[in-house]
Amino acid sequence: MIVSLHIRHLATIEDLELEFQPGFNILTGETGAGKSIIIDGIKFLLGERASPDIIRTGKKEALIEAVFRIKPETRNSPLSSYLIDGEIFVQRTITSEGTGKAYLNGILVPVRRLKEIADELVDIYGQNDHIFLLQLENHLHYLDDFIEAAPLRQEVSSLYHRLKALREEKQTIEERQKERERRLDFLAYQIEEIKRANLRPGEWEELQAERHLLKNAEKIARLCQEALEIAYYRDNSLLTLLKRLSHYLEELGQFEPAFKELGHSLEPLTLLVREAVENLLRFEQRQEASPDRLERIEERLSQIERLRRKYGGEIEDILEYLHKIEDERNQLLTSEERLFDLKREIEATFREYQDKASQLSELRQKGARELERQLKKEMSQLGLKQAEFKIKIISHRLSLEEIDCLKESGWDEVEFLISPNPGEELRPLRKIASGGELSRIMLALKAIGKESSSGKTLIFDEIDSGIGGQTADFIAQKLRSLARRHQVICITHLPQIASFAHHHFRIVKTVEGERTFTSVEKLDFEERVKEIARLLSGRRITPLSLQNAREMLRHNLGEKID
């Protein structure tokens, strides 16, 4: 339900706040007061295209924002990800440049996101707002809701998606079959080429390091020789000099103990030099120049480089590619067997689809007759006594060869037909019904519907167009009844409908200077009496009209909100 609505700088609205209530909410006011602007504001808030011309003169930006509260039983819908404590705060701005922004709970979102959640929050029915009845798929959905076919329809849907997945897999294999032999030869060549190279992870880096050593073998030998000369080969090598120094300090230690300690401290240095000499000798022995080895390394690196350019940047990438094409080759080798299995799976799944779709179609045929009967009864109470209503169901029972034409919803196409007047042929409702008729038919459908969700707000914009008397009473009672399951907001000019509402708001237009302002007032009982008297008698309110209004209110307000 809509908890609160705030509109600023929209048409004649400077700044308006409305706090709607559960149940049946009525908006009344003189013609041109701005009632429809409020409904337009809700439409813009929920993603409808808005022209910059709607912005109040002299202002750069319009703002519409509302808080919606969602019933617990509807919180598993796609809307649930936006909820905070069961509520969602929606905002939209419209600028004079034709741009604007949208927010959900303060987070910037594309305007299209508002359209995505709109169907979860509000249904609007007015002279030009009957998208539900004008779209054929909604006729089918409504019938399925009425006959409570959701479980069976879900089975049909699941089988449809299973068939679709199997068909796509079969088509993929068949397309591969066309070039299967060529592809197998190509994969065999690549697998053999990579395997013959006998690659191992890390080999590239090892060969690069070894090549670097071999290319610098002469320099390495010279440096090792010079280092060994200094440390080991010479008569006065570093090791010899350290030994002598240590010996002299040991001798001096007899005369000064400190020298003995210094001699001992040279031992680690002597060990370090000896270790360096041993490493140099081992390294020198390993670095014998080998032109043949360098040539073999260059050839191996060239081989690996060709494979790297062809199959991947690193040896690990090449080996991963090898695993991938081996899998593909195995799939191609077994594709004939898989194709045979798929054909059997498709046939079996299609038979299941046929069975479930046939059951669903039979259920729809039976349910359509009951829906016709109930809807005709409702329509007769809403001023459409002479109208005929029929549900046309066309079943397309397809064969396996026509599997591409299957639908998620089953065999059937459903369309509502109407004949508004006696003697006229039944024709599609979406083509011939007037705005007022559509509003009343929609009200009748809502009244008898068995919808899974009762959380939506239903908005009726001047549903009373062209009616009065007992029909208006029936419409008011239907709206009041709907308000047990939904929050209902209705714009009306009829006192009968206004008197049935749980909550009454009056839209007022005032002129100050050269500016027009639209405001809203929530009416208490006495104020409602005056407003309904105005609806009864026009601007000249009489004691009699006040008396009639008071009696009408007292009589029609006897039933409280459940």
Give the tokens for residue 186: 């190509």
Residue 562's pLDDT band (boundaries 50, 70, 90)?
Answer: very low
> For 382-414, b where at least 16 C-beta lie within 10 A, e where not — what string?
bbbeebbbbbebeeeebeeeebeebbebbbbbb
Answer whether residue 73 shows pLDDT above 80: no
Answer whether residue 336 shows pLDDT above 90: no
Answer whether residue 524 shows pLDDT above 80: yes
Of residues 253 and 103, more confidence is placed in: 103
Label the pairing between strands 457-461 and 122-125: parallel
**3-state SS string for 120-156:** HHEEEECCCCCHHHHCHHHHHHHHHHHCCCHHHHHHH
What domains, with CATH codes, occur in the chain? 1-126+462-562 (3.40.50.300), 183-333 (no CATH)
Answer whether residue 78 shows pLDDT above 70: no
Of residues 132 and 43, more confidence is placed in: 43
Q: Long-range pairs for 340-347 at CB < 8 Å and ≥24 separation?
A: 342/166, 342/169, 342/170, 342/173, 343/170, 345/166, 346/163, 346/166, 346/167, 346/170, 346/400, 346/403, 347/400
* Residues 452-489 pLDDT 10s: 555 789 998 877 776 777 778 888 888 998 898 899 99
Give the tokens for residue 310: 């062809």
Range 149-153 average pLDDT = 93
Answer whether residue 284 shows pLDDT above 80: no
Which of 545, 396, 380 lies closest to 475, judged by CA? 380
Which of 535, 505, 496 lies closest to 383, judged by CA? 496
pLDDT for res 127: 57
Check if the beta carbon of residue 271 is closer than 8 Å to that of residue 265: no
Check if the beta carbon of residue 488 is closer than 8 Å to that of residue 482: yes
| CA-CA-CA-CA dihedral for 215, 216, 221, 226, to nearest 10 | 170
Residue 451's pLDDT band (boundaries 50, 70, 90)?
Answer: low
Of residues 350 and 138, more confidence is placed in: 350
Which of 111, 89, 4, 93 lies closest to 55, judged by CA? 93
Q: How far separated are the first and last CA of the chain, in Å rounded?
A: 16
Check if the beta carbon of residue 64 is closer than 8 Å to that of residue 50: no
For the chain, the helix, strand and coil percentages under 3-state DSSP, each to the nearest 5: 60, 15, 25
Give the tokens for residue 557: 């307000």
pLDDT for res 71: 75
pLDDT for res 561: 38
Which of 489, 465, 381, 405 lies closest to 121, judged by CA? 489
Burial of residue 272, with CB atoms counted within 10 A of its CB: 0-12 exposed, 13-18 middle, 19 or more buried? exposed
* Residues 177-196 pLDDT 10s: 777 788 888 999 999 998 99
* Residues 95-132 pLDDT 10s: 988 889 999 998 899 998 898 888 788 888 765 545 66
Most confident by average pLDDT, 20-24, 136-140, 426-430: 20-24
Give the tokens for residue 320: 């991963």
Answer whether residue 403 shows pLDDT above 90: no
Burial of residue 202, with CB atoms counted within 10 A of its CB: 0-12 exposed, 13-18 middle, 19 or more buried? exposed
Q: What is the mean pLDDT of the chain?
A: 85
